[in-house]
Amino acid sequence: MIEALQSFNLTKELWSFSAVCGILVGMAKTGITGLGMLVVPILAGIFGGKPSVGLLLPMLCFGDIFAVKYYGRHAEWLYLLRLMPWTLTGIIIALFVGNIVSDAQFKGLIAVTILFGIALMTWGEWRQDEIVIPDHWWFSPLFGLAGGFATMIGNAAGPIMALYLLSMHLPKNAYIGTGAWFYMIVNLIKVPLHVFIWKTITIQTISFNIAMLPAITAGAIIGINVVKKIPEKPYRKFIIIMTAIASIKLFI
């Protein structure tokens, strides 16, 4: 395992950034929404676009365990069933696209996907009181396709799912629990695709993920304990701004 970790040739500074990402993943999965969007561009900047997606996925799966354990019983399954067929279609489309673009183009796709998600998140913040469930037939298919594409390309479906669930006016625990099950199911579906098709999950990356487990666990514990204490609006604005800056840097 030590040799596998050494093969990444990371400096102490980059290992520190990676550990911080692990903490942020744990916090994001246990209710402090928005932090996951900050992790994606940071890891893409360190490891490259496509490799970083496979590197992050097992970390997210581990975080999903905490999320489902603490909030899963509150899930509203009807909304998941509406989304899932379209989400799987979006994953398949992204799988094809990811096979025909270069790593530089892949990083660009991640950045565009994240910035699109940030735009949705910002719009949702401004219009939160006015969001209603559209009656149009295309509402769930549109969000399902967008979420599936975003999660496969860059593990970046958070803002899309957030806006979809906000539109349902779910109670807080139901909002978190429904999202927790959605991400666990989708992330587990993505694992064999990364292993056998994109080949971005390897023995080497699993070694990295194991090394990040303490950081993810610490983040999950922190998230569970402080989620109710953080002022929501100032915090979300900070995350949106920082994520936008990190995403723009992927173009440079």
**pLDDT tens-place string over residues 95-108:** 999 989 888 888 88
d(CA 95, CA 152): 7
Mean local confidence (pLDDT), 20-44: 86
Cβ atoms of 74 and 174 within 8 Å: the answer is yes
Rg (C-alpha) for the chain, rounded Å, is 17
Are residues 200 and 94 in contact, defined by beta-carbon separation less than 8 angstroms?
A: no
Question: Is 158:33 a contact under the CB 8 Å cutoff?
Answer: yes
- Segment 125-152 shows an average pLDDT of 75
Which range (58-72, 100-114, 210-224) has the least confidence? 100-114
- pTM, to two decimals: 0.85
Tokens of 252: 């440079």
Ramachandran assignment for 102, one of left (phi > 0), alpha (psi -120 to 50 degrees), beta (any other): beta
Read off the tokens for 44: 């893409």
- If you average pLDDT over residues 182-201, what whole number do you get? 96
Assign 228 to helix, strand or coil: coil
CA distances from 118 to 81, 157, 158, 168, 232 (A): 25, 10, 9, 19, 16
Residue 249: its pLDDT value, please? 63
